[in-house]
Amino acid sequence: MASDDASDYVLGHSPRELERLRRQGQLVNPITWQFLIEAGIAPGMRILDVGSGAGDVAFLAAELVGPSGQVVGVDQSPDALALARSRAKEQSLANLTFRESELSAMAFDQHFDAAIGRYVLCFQPDPAALLRKITRWVRPGGIVLFHEPDRKQMRSYPPTPTYDKMSEWIDETFGRTGMEVRMGMKLYSTFVAAGLAEPTMRLHAVIGGAKALEEVHFEADLAVTLAAAMERTGVVTAEELGADSLIERITQEMSANQSVIVGRAEIGAWTRLEERLSSRERKQNDPSRDFVRHERNATLSAEDRLLALPVRS
């Protein structure tokens, strides 16, 4: 999860935030995994993971491409990349490397079979522009896949007031700090605006009942991370948020009402770049050749008919 400018990234890269991302990955990684498989990520591929952060998505891709493949994760945060590299070293993954770079300034010596990212475009002021830059590094016929949220799909039933209000505060804070909270639903139009083919799309969500503590942490930990930004932007005071008791209050309400909470919509979108034809293939597939051939045949047929006419004496 990353903005192209580290100084503008509202969630930051503190040790607490990196731990939140790890915990978040336990719930979201299976969803991303499904998107990657359905999009066609396979053994032997060379993958670019954009906005890699602590590396969760890169690790998924590395497992899919196997020892014969390669994954390059890019992020602008040295703290996040230090953690990602440490994790890769612990797992002895030789097919996974990480680079520090602003996303708009990425440069490589060869193209990739696919570019992927999770929670990246939602933090960009112009996601279509970044997507166009990313696709320059994907080979013809390669895959472009992004997993983004739509936070307006969140709800609880029977209502859990503290959870619902907290979700509203998070959305308002994100909106005031430049995040697009409906990026998932905007992936289709963003792909098209970037000049890509219409994407295949899928939607999943994290959902849990009264004792779903991990599902409560999924959003409540995010609220705690954003607490200072909430107060700074005038969304809510620290006293109103009550970060220290937030999870306890939500779980108490869920237990009392036997409630179910639904997290943000997790939306995946992917497409393939057009194949570039060789000059011979372009010539063979040139529709004008059929037109010329048709005209030539039509002309020859007319001449044949003239020759067949009787000659006047």
- pLDDT (0 to 100) of residue 272: 98
pTM here is: 0.84
Q: Which domains does the chain have, with CATH numbers?
A: 6-165+180-206+267-273 (3.40.50.150)
How far apart, in whole angstroms, are the C-alpha atoms of residue 15 and residue 278? 50
Burial 39-66 (b: 16+ CB within 10 A, else e): bebeeebbbbbbbbbbbbbbbbbbbbbe
Q: Report CA-CA distances (Å) from 156 to 26, 82, 179, 289.
A: 21, 37, 23, 61
Task: Report which of 250, 46, 243 is spatially closest to residue 142, judged by C-alpha positions.
Answer: 46
pLDDT tens, residue order, the chain (313 aa): 455 544 455 565 577 777 777 788 889 999 999 999 999 999 999 999 999 998 999 999 999 999 999 999 999 999 889 999 999 999 999 999 999 999 989 999 999 999 999 999 999 999 999 999 999 999 999 999 999 999 999 999 999 999 999 999 999 999 999 999 999 999 999 999 999 999 999 999 999 999 999 999 999 999 999 999 999 999 999 999 999 999 999 999 999 999 999 999 999 999 999 986 555 545 554 545 544 454 555 454 545 544 444 444 4
Phi then psi for 48, rounded to 5 degrees? -105, 120
Q: Report CA-CA distances (Å) from 233 to 3, 6, 193, 251, 299.
A: 19, 19, 31, 27, 76
